Amino acid sequence: MTWFDAKIVAVDQVATDIKSFRLVPADPQAGLASWKPGAHLDVRAENGIVRQYSLCGDPADPASYRIAILHEAAGRGGSEYFHSHVVPGSTVAISEPRNLFPLVEGRSNYLLIAGGIGITPILPMIRELDAAGRAWHLHYGGRALDRMAFTDELAAYDDRVDLHTGLLDLPRILSEQPKGTAVYCCGPTALMDAVLETAAAVGLDDVHIERFAPVEAAEDSDGTALDSFDVELRQTGVTLHIEKGQTILDAVIEVLPDHPYSCESGTCGNCVSTVLEGTPVHRDCVLSDDERKNKMMICVGGSASKRLVLDL
Ligand code: FES
């Protein structure tokens, strides 16, 4: 992955425990890559922590990016670092925007569902859909109004936005949608799982979700993961032994230090590797069933066979 230096030029408290950060190129002569709603950045702080954050500013703004971060007391340390140490003037490294959650074009209706910090990728979608004159509606849920970000910006859309401080009535909301509705959801895992399940129950099949947290407890795909196994890197001509508690990625970067990775939680897609032989155990939330036939995320994946062969 190619990294670019960016400077934080503004930090705003946009809700309880949520701050937004505005970034510009550290080199004033450098430009910023364009992006579309649903895109995210990999952000590497000065202490080396790398996290993925959705872009929640205006795609038409060529001069700056905006991200927003929820302070998660029980998180893995990324949000704590950004909330406590990143201030105007701080420098971070950023990737080019990547979009794993793009808006599909041409649907007759768009239903947007956000929970908490999950509003971030949805906000630019609203701008684009509204500017294009599309039919859309947002249901935004949170524990309390003061914990929901950007409600001031959402107020401009009047009755096309419903704010919920309790549970969303998903069966009602989803069953009211006309055929052909595209559903977009970002938020807590439980909300996204409930949207997927309820949408399927009412016959909506155009559902798009974005996960930035690892699938709960990184469940094995078939429950047969071995504690230790060998991994042959076919192109490199090296065989690695993976011990209990070690990831394949840990071992791979010992011999291939440039192998890309970022989140180390099976959510960013950077460490994807092609499997030539063996039976991988999948624990990511990036790959489709089809992709799992010959690919794996080696930061979280394991093996059900004593030997895996990777095309590395
Ligand atoms: S490093 Fe992000 S999916 Fe493996």
* Separation of CA 159 and ligand 1 centre (Å): 39
Closest ligand 1 atom number to CA of residue 266: 3
pLDDT-above-70 percentage for the chain: 95
pLDDT grade, residue 256 (50/70/90)?
Answer: very high
> Looking at residue 215, what is its pLDDT?
45
* Ligand 1 pocket, CB under 6 A: 261-264, 266-271, 284, 286, 297, 299
Residue among 215, 265, 295 to mutate when testing ligand 1 (max atoms within 8 A of CB) = 265
pLDDT in tens, 18-63: 999 999 999 989 999 999 999 999 888 877 777 889 999 999 999 9
pLDDT value for 213: 55
Who contacts 95 (Cβ-Cβ below 8 Å, separation ≥6)? 1, 2, 3, 4, 41, 42, 43, 262
Q: Is 9's pLDDT higher than 90? A: yes
| Range with lowest mean pLDDT among 93-102, 107-116, 129-138, 200-209 | 93-102
Distance of alpha carbon 112 from alpha carbon 174, whole angstroms? 11
Contact 63, 2 (CB under 8 A): no
* Per-residue confidence (pLDDT) for residue 283, from 0 to 100: 85
CA of 52 to the centre of ligand 1 (A): 11
Atom of ligand 1 nearest to the CA of 263: 2
How is the chain split into domains, by residue range? Answer: 4-99, 109-210, 218-310
Pocket test for ligand 1, best of 256, 258, 271 (most atoms within 8 A of CB): 271
Question: What pLDDT, in 10s, does the model give residues 121-163?
Answer: 999 999 999 999 999 999 999 989 999 999 999 999 999 999 9
Euclidean distance between CA atoms 20 and 1, whole angstroms: 24
270 CA to middle of ligand 1, Å?
A: 5
Q: Which atom of ligand 1 is nearest to the CA of 286?
A: 3
Mean pLDDT for the chain overall: 90
> What kind of fold does domain 109-210 have according to CATH?
Rossmann fold (3.40.50)
Instruction: Tell me the CA–centroid distance for residue 70 and ligand 1, in Å.
Output: 21
Our mutation pick for probing the ligand 1 site, out of 248, 299, 310, counting the most ligand atoms within 8 A of Cβ, is 299
HEC string of 176-222 equals CCCCCEEEEEECCHHHHHHHHHHHHHHCCCCEEEECCCCCHHHCCCC
- Give domain 4-99's CATH architecture: Beta Barrel (2.40)
Q: For 119-161, give the DSSP string.
A: HHHHHHHHHHHHHTT--EEEEEE-SSGGGSTTHHHHGGGGGGE
Q: Ligand 1 atom closest to Cα of 269?
A: 3
If you measure from the C-alpha of residue 23 to the centroid of ligand 1, how many angstroms do you get, rounded to a whole number?
24
Q: How far apart are CA 108 and CA 267, in angstroms?
A: 30
Query: Residue 71's pLDDT band (boundaries 50, 70, 90)?
Result: very high
Architecture of the domain spanning 218-310: Roll (3.10)
How many CB atoms sit inside 10 A of residue 57's CB?
Answer: 20
C-alpha of residue 2 to centroid of ligand 1, in Å: 15
Q: Once rounded to an integer, what is the mean pLDDT over residues 101-113? A: 95
pLDDT at 217: 38
**Distance from the CA of 87 to the center of ligand 1, in angstroms?**
27
CA–centroid distance, 5 to ligand 1, in Å, is: 21
